[in-house]
Amino acid sequence: MLRPRIIPCLLLSAGGLVKTRRFADPKYVGDPINAVRIFNEKAVDELIVLDIDATRQGRAPDRALIARMANECRMPLCYGGGIASEDEVDRIISLGVEKVSLSAAALADPSLIDRSARRVGTQSIVVTLDVRKTGLLGGQTVVTHNGTRKTGRKPLDVAVEMQTRGAGEIVINMVDRDGEMGGYDLDFVARMREAVTVPVTLLGGAGSLDDIAALIRQEGLVGAAAGSLFVFKGKYRAVLINYPNRDEKDALFSRAGFGG
């Protein structure tokens, strides 16, 4: 039986791994290849790697580093950052990456999703939406370029359009909860799951396995992604790559009331 996916998310900056808070104040947390090797040993469900500099700096992805990570990975790998054309999508997939994450480029030219899905299949196309509060009666908007540019578009509307164009998965990255470790926005993900039928993964806010259990209890088959939870340990946020073992995951699913 299918189970929800528990997914570490790693952020690349200047060739190293960092962790941010609300998309700011990046803290160096280690070497990406070493992190991939540790996650291999821990048998993670899937790995998301996002280059947070590429789009903002207007540069292409670091294909040499992506190839090294893909070669090391023994789990499905999703890469995002700096991908601006279907040709680049093709190149990243050819390196051994299972999924590509499109964000700013897809917002600027939604037909990129159509063209990319025709090239590599919908199962390999992920759209990541960075969502930030607008301050207007709980409103939310999609932002790009590391949270520095507002699109003025509502996340549910964008998600529906991207699904229609061929996105096989929607990743929601909650900017205001990034690195805060205060829990997921369960109300928002419920609305998103009602709006689209493709798999949804939520990122931003997980501070404990109980937060993941709460998300799974509410949504069932969902992707539970986290950054800080899997690179920090303890109240002083000491850097430690970690992930629940099989017994811990079984206990988590049991608390969530998820069978299988």
Q: Which residues are catalytic?
A: 130
Distance (Å, whole) CA 77 – CA 8: 10
- From the list 250, 163, 232, the residue with the least C-alpha distance to 200 is 163
Separation between Cα atoms, residue 38 and residue 184, nearest integer Å: 25
Other Cβ atoms within 10 Å of 250 Cβ, number: 12
d(CA 26, CA 257): 36
- The CA-based dihedral angle spanning residues 147, 62, 7, 169, taken in that order and rounded to the nearest 10 degrees: 70
Tokens of residue 142, six digits: 């999609």
